[in-house]
Structure 1
């Protein structure tokens, strides 16, 4: 399993505005699995990145670090 950081907007129908970008963390095998997990939410996904090594360690220090489990 890997941890992915997902950058998104809350409304799929709105134009992406960087200042409105939200993030969530999802544990999954692949980026495709993350997208399937989130498909029922009305998210406009900007970008998904796999977190590894020092980058993952840095993100874990954030108060907002809460990982959802993709199924």
Structure 2
């Protein structure tokens, strides 16, 4: 499955919408996503499962780059 992760660059940073970044990652479930990203030191705000039309829409974005972890 493909997941969209919304996060802040620093784990100590207070979530502010203007500073939120996103990345796309392939994993089996949300727990696996968190495990793969635990060493990055980021503050994960939200993890969204992408499938079907949502995934197709995100793939059209110029920001869509599937992370390999």
| Alpha-carbon distance in structure 1 between the residues aligned to 2:65 and 2:27 | 14
Asked if 1:54 corresponds to 2:53, the answer is yes
Matched residue count:
69
CA RMSD of aligned residues (A): 0.8
1:28 maps to 27
Structure 1 runs of 4+ with >3 Å offset: none
TM-score of the two chains, using structure 1 as the length reference:
0.93
TM-score normalised by structure 2 residue count = 0.95
Tell me, which stretches of 5 or more residues in structure 2 are unaligned? none
Listed as ranges, the gaps of 5+ residues in structure 1 are none
SS of aligned partner of 2:39: coil
What's the CA shift string for 1:29-60, capped at 9, x where partnerless? Answer: 00100000000011000000000111000000
